[in-house]
Chain A
Amino acid sequence: MAMFGLFGSRTSASDAAIEAAALRSDRFRQQREGDWQRLEAIVTRMEKGRLRKISDADLQQLPVLYRTVASSLSVARETSLDAATLAYLESLVQRAWFLVYGPRTTLLGWLGRFLGGEWSRAVRAIWPELLVALALMVAGTAVGWLLCVHNPDWYYALVGDMAQERAPGASREMLRGTLFGQADKQGLSIFAAALFSHNAGIAILCFALGFAFGVPPLMLLVQNTASLGAMLWLFASQGLLYDFVGWLSIHGTTELFAILLAGAAGLHIGRSMAFPGERGVMEAAAAAGQRAAVVMAGVVLMLVIAGMLEGLGRQLIESTEVRYAVGYSILAFWLVYFFAFRRVPQGSEAP
Chain B
Amino acid sequence: MSRAERLAARAARRNRRRTLVTPEGSALPIELASRGTRLGALAIDLTIIVLVMAFSTLAIGFGAAGLNEVSGGKIDKATGGLRTAFEFLVIVWIALMFLLRHGYFLYFELGPRGATPGKRMTGIRIAARNGGRLSPEMVLARNLLRDIELFLPLMLFVGARAGGSGLTGWLALLWFLLFALFPFFNRDRLRAGDLIAGTWVLEAARHKLAEAMSLGESAARGTSAATGATYRFGEAELAIYGEYELQTLERVLRENRPEAIAAVHEAICRKIGWDPGAGDERAFLDAYYTQLRARLEAGMRMGRRKADKHD
Contact = CB atoms under 8 A, between A and B. Distances in A.
A5 to B, nearest CB: 8
Contacts of A84: 207, 209-210, 212-213, 250, 254
A162 interface: no
Given A103-B133, A107-B107, A285-B195, A190 B90 contact: yes
B5 interface: no
B148 interface: yes
13 contacts: A22-B220, A81-B243, A81-B247, A84-B250, A93-B22, A97-B22, A107-B106, A110-B136, A193-B90, A200-B98, A286-B130, A291-B137, A293-B140
A205 to B, nearest CB: 6
Nearest to A294: B137
Contacts of B28: 90, 93-94, 97
Given A94-B205, A349-B135, 19 more contacts: A7-B215, A8-B212, A8-B215, A21-B220, A22-B219, A24-B297, A25-B293, A70-B22, A82-B212, A87-B207, A95-B206, A101-B22, A101-B134, A103-B112, A189-B87, A286-B196, A289-B197, A293-B144, A297-B140
Interface in A301-325: none
A104 interface: yes
Given A208-B145, A211-B145, A80 B297 contact: yes
Interface stretch (A71-79, A145-153, A222-230, A231-239): A71-79
A349 B135 CA distance: 9
A104 B192 CA distance: 25
A197 interface: yes
A292 interface: yes
A49 B45 CA distance: 19
A257 interface: no
A282 B199 CA distance: 10
A103 B141 contact: no
Contact of A101 (B91, B113, B133): B133
Interface string A264-298: 00000100000000000011011111111110110
Interface of B: 22-24, 26, 28-30, 83, 87, 90-91, 94-95, 97-98, 102, 106-107, 110-114, 125, 127-141, 144-145, 147-148, 152, 192, 195-198, 204-217, 219-221, 225, 243, 246-247, 250-251, 254, 256, 290, 293-294, 296-297, 300-301
Contacts of A243: none
The dominant DSSP class at the A interface is helix
A251 interface: no
B69 to A, nearest CB: 20
Contacts of A207: 144
A206 B125 CA distance: 28
Nearest to A66: B24
Contacts of B147: 201, 204-205, 208
Contact of B110 (A37, A70, A103): A103
A135 interface: no
A209 B225 contact: no
Contacts of B225: 3
A162 B19 CA distance: 54
In order of increasing CB-CB distance, the 5 nearest A-B pairs are A286-B198, A289-B196, A293-B141, A290-B137, A208-B148
B45 to A, nearest CB: 18
Interface string A1-31: 1011101100000000000111111100100
Q: How many residues of A sit at the interface, in one of the four size bands?
A: 35 or more
Nearest to A97: B22
Contacts of B196: 211, 269, 285-286, 288-289
Contacts of B127: 98
Interface in A40-94: 40, 46-47, 49, 51, 67, 70-71, 73-74, 78-85, 87-88, 90-94
B200 to A, nearest CB: 11
A47 B112 contact: yes
B212 A26 contact: yes
Contacts of B23: 101
A25 B290 CA distance: 11
A85 B212 contact: yes
Contacts of B256: 1
A270 B106 CA distance: 23
Nearest to A20: B220
A164 interface: no
Nearest to A291: B137
Contacts of B102: 204, 300
A299 B128 CA distance: 25
A95 B144 contact: no
Interface string A98-113: 1101111111001000
A247 interface: no
B214 A286 contact: no
Contact of A49 (B90, B95, B112, B206): B112
Given A22-B294, A94-B205, A286-B129, A197 B300 contact: no
Given A82-B250, A95-B204, A103-B139, A209 B91 contact: no
